Amino acid sequence: MGMMLRRTFWGFILVFIGILAIIQNYTGIELHLWGTFFSLLLIGWGLGILMGSRRSTGGRQVIFDEAHVSASDKQTHYDTIFGRGVYDFRDLRVGKDAGNLEANAIFGESIIKINPNTPMLIKGSSVFGQIKFPDGETVVFSEREYRTKSFKADSPHIYLKASAIFGNLVITDKIS
């Protein structure tokens, strides 16, 4: 299923579920769905997906979808929510492209590709999720810092804050 078709499909599904929930709440028809607040939340979320809304904080979100994203200097925030996002940070350069970045896997999977020759400090935090670092170490319900081999504390570097909340986040320095 293509990205636009998938977005449209999930948008219609969420709007439909929200409308059914409102019908149940206001007509008495037993549809065994949730309350009005949840219904409105689903309708709003569905309409947001259909209209292609994005957060204005300079970020990229993958919601109910799968996407491959090349990092750029215009984006600092990368979220995967109920989907799978592959983020390629290998071409980022210190001072030119990036300074502080944030990546989150929320009920989804994020794969972050980094260049081991780029100085990076990565702080990973996991809650009901898992983060796997390039050295093979995995954290669950904890935090960890990882430094690339070229990282020096007193030199310019890229800082990546990575979080997994009910999700899986893999940071790799492999070529493929």
Three-state DSSP string of 9-59: HHHHHHHHHHHHHHHHHHHCCCCCCCCHHHHHHHHHHHHHHHCCCCCCCCE
Q: What pLDDT sits at residue 169?
A: 96
- Residue 57 has a pLDDT of 40
Q: Is 55 exposed, middle or buried (0-12, 13-18, 19+ CB in 10 A)?
A: exposed
Residue 19 reports pLDDT greater than 70: yes
Q: Which of 21-25, 59-63, 87-91, 121-125 has the highest mean pLDDT?
A: 121-125
* Res 92: pLDDT: 86
Predicted TM-score of the model (pTM): 0.66
Write down the pLDDT at residue 1.
43
Residues whose CB is less than 8 angstroms from the CB of residue 94 and which lie 6 or more positions away in sequence, other chains included: 118, 119, 156, 157, 158
What band does 30 get if pLDDT is binned at 50, 70 and 90? Answer: low
109-137: average pLDDT: 94
Q: Per-residue confidence at 91, pLDDT binned at 50, 70, 90?
A: confident
